[in-house]
Structure 1
Amino acid sequence: MSTPTSASGAGAVAFRDMTLDDVSAVNALEQRLFPADAWPLEMFLAELTQPETRRYVVAESGGAIVGYAGLMCIEPIADVQTIAVVPEFEGRGIGSALLTRLIDEARRRGAADVLLEVREDNPRAQQLYVRFGFEQIHIRRKYYRDGVDALIMRLQLAPSTEAPTTEAPTTEAGQA
């Protein structure tokens, strides 16, 4: 099921679950966006075969995938496995919308916390996570292949099932 964020024709972005048919395009983006740390194609395939603990979504515009994100959830912890938006589409709220979907999925699956790693040299991503309420809890030294540290961040989810949802902007204008 697609959820458009804007009705403005070719610029509209729709979100849907990632399928096996998307893996080739997502892998090409992964190689382009994270050349030093890119996942191999087989990893995406393996992730999609575990729907009981995983959820992956894509963002599309004009028939092309422009963003993707994935979550692993094994109660009581959810972990953002990956999140990416192509540079040409940054600043349109796609990253926020993808992260919102992952957090909502973590809540749906009963997670108490959402964890993630983010490169210490990626302030844009760090700012996105802080806006959503993530806090840095640890540093993994030289975590990435090129020697950059990873900041470990955590979002504690409200224990109540009546917790407010994390709504991201639904238009293309605005945040990450």
Structure 2
Amino acid sequence: MRWWDIESVLRLEVDLFPDDAWSPGMFWSELAHACGPAATRHYVVAEAGGRLVGYAGLAAVDRTADVQTIAAARDHWGTGLGARLLTNLITAATAFECHEVLLEVRVDNLRAQRLYERFGFAPLGIRKGYYQPGNVDALVMRLADPASPTPAAQCPVQGQGSVQGSAQGTKTHG
């Protein structure tokens, strides 16, 4: 993800997460930490047919990675795009030499939970009232060893589009 992607990312963000969409400033702040030798973030976008159809981001601090956001356009649900984005983030976590990857996902988002479970994420706990508005709880999930991918993470995912980003640079809505 680069600064020129933010406008398209925001359109998708508002469509998918109208009640708690990130602001432009939040994306700018994340990208500011994605550059240079001291980078602690990794953000990517996915494009298909010249259109931005997904994005994902990861923060890495003290050998722990945290999935900040992952999103796929509705017309790309079920195509494997989410798996490609998650694979990219896990690869970045390994490049950052992280020993674990954490994420939060809405307790009512079973589709995303199934994706994370296929990659080896296991439930760790609940954060009460994490998603606002509405006081929706978040399920905290953990991948204990991102350097040892599960069979789901090792399989190439078929589908159109490409995920673009750098494994060295760089919210979970599931």
User: TM above 0.5, one fold?
Assistant: yes
Aligned partner of 1:122 among 106, 109, 112: 109
Task: Give SS of 1:141's match.
Answer: strand
Q: Tell me the C-alpha RMSD between the 2 structures.
A: 1.5
- Looking at structure 2, the residues matched to 38 and 164 of structure 1 have their Cα atoms a distance apart, in angstroms, of 30
Aligned partner of 1:86 among 70, 73, 82: 73
Q: Which residue of 1 aligns with 2:165?
A: none
Task: Could you list the structure 1 runs, at least 4 aligned residues long, displaced by more than 3 angstroms after superposition.
Answer: 163-166
Q: Which residue of 2 aligns with 1:36?
A: 19
Report if the CA contact (8 A) 1:141-1:149 is conserved: yes
Q: Which residue of 1 aligns with 2:55?
A: 68
Q: Which residue of 2 aligns with 1:10?
A: none
Where does structure 1 lack aligned partners over 5 or more consecutive residues? 1-17
Task: Give SS of 1:111's match.
Answer: coil
1:137 corresponds to 2:124: yes
Q: Which residue of 1 aligns with 2:9?
A: 26
1:156 corresponds to 2:139: no
Residue identity matched to 1:40: S
CA gap 1:60/1:168 in 2 versus in 1, 3 angstroms: farther
- Looking at structure 2, the residues matched to 152 and 125 of structure 1 have their Cα atoms a distance apart, in angstroms, of 12
Aligned residues: 153
With normalisation by structure 1, the TM-score equals 0.83
Report if the CA contact (8 A) 2:129-2:136 is conserved: yes
| Greater RCO (Cα-Cα under 8 Å, separation 6 or more) | 2
Q: Deviations over 1:131-153 (max 9, x none)?
A: 00000101001111121100000
- Looking at structure 2, the residues matched to 120 and 35 of structure 1 have their Cα atoms a distance apart, in angstroms, of 18
With normalisation by structure 2, the TM-score equals 0.84
